[in-house]
Amino acid sequence: MQNNTMNKKAPPLSKICDAAILSAKAAGKVLMHHFDKKLKISEKPGAGLVTNADFEAQNAAVKLLRKKFPDFGFLTEETMEKGTPQGQKGSQKGRWIIDPLDGTTNYVHRFPMFCVSIAAEWEGEIVVGVIYHPVLKDLYVAVRGKGAKLNGRRIQVSKTTDLGNSLLTTGFTYRKDNSGTESQKEFLHSEMTAFEKLSGMTRAIRRPGSAALDLAYTARGVFDGFWERKLSAWDVAAGGLLVQEAGGQVSDFRGGPFRIDAGEILASNGPLHQSLLKEISIK
């Protein structure tokens, strides 16, 4: 007898999108409730800060998503409640990829550049991406093949063609290696070398501290390009789709196809992509 669950068709993208929006807003509400208040803060070994707000926001999002799509699996930044394995694939072909608080260090220090990032994957392809910036109540939504929107209005990447006129954004990994190994020194050197070169070639470079928001701002044409290494799937899944659906280009540091598990991303408006690849490529 055939497995009926495995033969299920993809749910309507509109329903997936609606669920992602509801859950992102629910998580954002939790974040704003705790923002600028005393937090329970701990540090994940080699992976930055985590707070009670991270967990509560994730629980709020997951609760809604489980109710709407009980067969979907989850890939989340924080450990799932009730012993559910992080990255559980579930019995269906769908999976939610969630970062309940992208920019935790910003959040802890009351710097208002943080967001909720939720993506839906079906059979290995990201089909919906939602990023919610609760401080500004900015809701970014991308649906595969349907374009990208900010608060209901269509957005597009910039039209900048000259690197000298570009405004870029980047990030440096929060993962610290206290051993002082040569590989870590080489990594930091390559990061700073690319930053230094591009600083002299562009109008300016910003480092807001939230990869998901960096991608959202690239999708809306504020930034002309973004690059970063040492990222996880939940950092880039929703934002990568946003940039693509806004008409931009996304790849790894060698110009290869964008993969959420690649650990690196270059996103641009398109015309600047090859120039950026030349400056950030790993030799």
- 13-154 carries CATH number 3.30.540.10: yes
167, β-bridge pairs: 204
CATH of span 163-280: 3.40.190.80
Do 64 and 19 form a contact (C-beta atoms < 8 A)? Answer: yes
* pLDDT (0 to 100) of residue 26: 98
If you average pLDDT over residues 87-99, what whole number do you get? 76
If you average pLDDT over residues 48-64, what whole number do you get? 95
Question: How far is the C-alpha of 225 from the C-alpha of 274, rounded, in Å?
Answer: 11
* pLDDT (0 to 100) of residue 44: 75
Listed by start position, the domains of the chain span: 13-154, 163-280
* pLDDT (0 to 100) of residue 184: 65
- Hey, what are 72's tokens? 């979907």
Q: What is the pTM of this model?
A: 0.91
Whether 3 shows a pLDDT value over 50: the answer reads no
Q: Is 38 exposed, middle or buried (0-12, 13-18, 19+ CB in 10 A)?
A: exposed
Whether 5 shows a pLDDT value over 60: the answer reads no
If you average pLDDT over residues 82-107, what whole number do you get? 76
Nearest to 273 by CA among 245, 236, 244: 244
pLDDT classification of 192: cutoffs 50, 70, 90: confident
* pLDDT (0 to 100) of residue 147: 98
pLDDT, one tens digit per residue, over 223-245 is 999 999 999 999 999 999 999 99
Whether 173 shows a pLDDT value over 80: the answer reads no
